[in-house]
Amino acid sequence: MRRPVLVLALLAGVTAPAAAKTGKKTTDKKAAKKSDKRAARESTKVSASHHFKADNMPRGWQWPPSRTMESVEKTCEQKLDALGVTWQAATREGHVTDAIVVPDMTLGGVQFLGTYTKDRPQMMDCELALAWTSFAPQLHELGVTEVHFGSIYRWTKVRAFGKTKDVLSRHALGLAMDVAYFVDGAGRQAWVGRDYKSGDELLLNVEKAVNDSGLFRLLLTPKNDPISHKDHFHFEANPDFTPLPAEDPLPDDPDRVDI
């Protein structure tokens, strides 16, 4: 079973959580510049490597963002509006295409709380907010009222099976979130690190619902990565940035025969 292992390795993120920065527009300009510089430097480091796997990125993803990506994100913002999410544009960090913050960190009526960042809103890509908002009805059905996460945006490479891969993590795209535990309506906490191994029903139900929903990429858990994901679930939005045919027309071919 070598192939699934390889695939999982490409999907994974990093265990150690880092305090993510808020992407508020009020961010000090100097700090933003510094962060941009760091991102650019790191970006060169990552992309210069011959091991860099561009295909670990979302379908059609490129940097800087293509017109299709911008248009997909515009649609994402409209969907968030239609779903009643209150959001604000934020300062982009790393390779986040459409940086936003949701000031009250409530998506679809579910409260998101940062373990290290308390109730400060965290910058993320619109697509991650949309995936969670779309999935919220199922969280309600399972009884989840709070999602406690370690981190969302981090400029980092993939870490899986205890090893760091030379591949940019989707945390660097603002598309991934590491969840440490869920809280249900009765106030019970279901911790991935403590309760998953004993078959906690809520955690297993969330895992199944996520994978059945198609709203996220394959969820990384202690089951499919017992080393680097032993204490959290790694969620990833799964946007499709493939250009529409209209954006990139095929050149005229005089020999082409339409059938």
- From candidates 11, 13, 158, 195, binder to Zn ion by CB under 5 A: 13
Bridge partners (DSSP) of residue 124 are 100
> What does each C-alpha distance from 189 to 145, 185, 212 come to in angstroms?
10, 10, 23
| Candidate residues 178, 195, 200, 225; the one interacting with Zn ion per rule CB under 5 A | 178
Under a CB-based contact definition with an 8 Å cutoff, are residues 10 and 158 in contact?
yes
Interaction between residue 234 and Zn ion (CB under 5 A): yes
Which one of the spans 34-42, 43-51, 152-160, 177-185 is the region binding Zn ion (CB under 5 A)? 177-185
Q: How far is the CB of 249 from Zn ion (least distance, A)?
A: 38
The set of residues, in sequence order, having a beta carbon less than 8 Å from that of 151 and lying 6+ positions away, is 17, 18, 19, 20, 114, 116, 122, 171, 177, 178
Is 66 or 182 the residue whose CB approaches Zn ion more closely?
A: 182
Of the listed pieces 8-16, 91-99, 110-118, 131-139, which binds Zn ion according to CB under 5 A? 8-16
Q: At what angle do helices 67-82 and 126-142 cross, to 10 degrees?
A: 40
Tell me whether residue 13 or residue 222 sits nearer to Zn ion (CB atom). Answer: 13
**Which residues are paired to 99 by β-bridges?**
125
Query: How many residues make contact with Zn ion (CB under 5 A)?
Result: 4
| 229 near Zn ion, rule: CB under 5 A | no
Smallest distance, Zn ion to C-beta of residue 124, A: 13
94 binds Zn ion (CB under 5 A): no
Q: Residue 68 or residue 148: which is nearer to Zn ion going by CB?
A: 148
**Alpha-carbon gap, residue 56 to 122, rounded angstroms:** 24
> CB nearest Zn ion: which residue?
13
Q: Least distance (Å) from Zn ion to the CB of residue 30?
A: 29
CB closer to Zn ion out of 67 and 163: 163
Q: Among the residues of the chain, which ranges form H helices?
A: 2-11, 29-47, 67-82, 126-142, 192-195, 201-213
Q: Which residues bind Zn ion (CB under 5 A)?
A: 13, 176, 178, 234
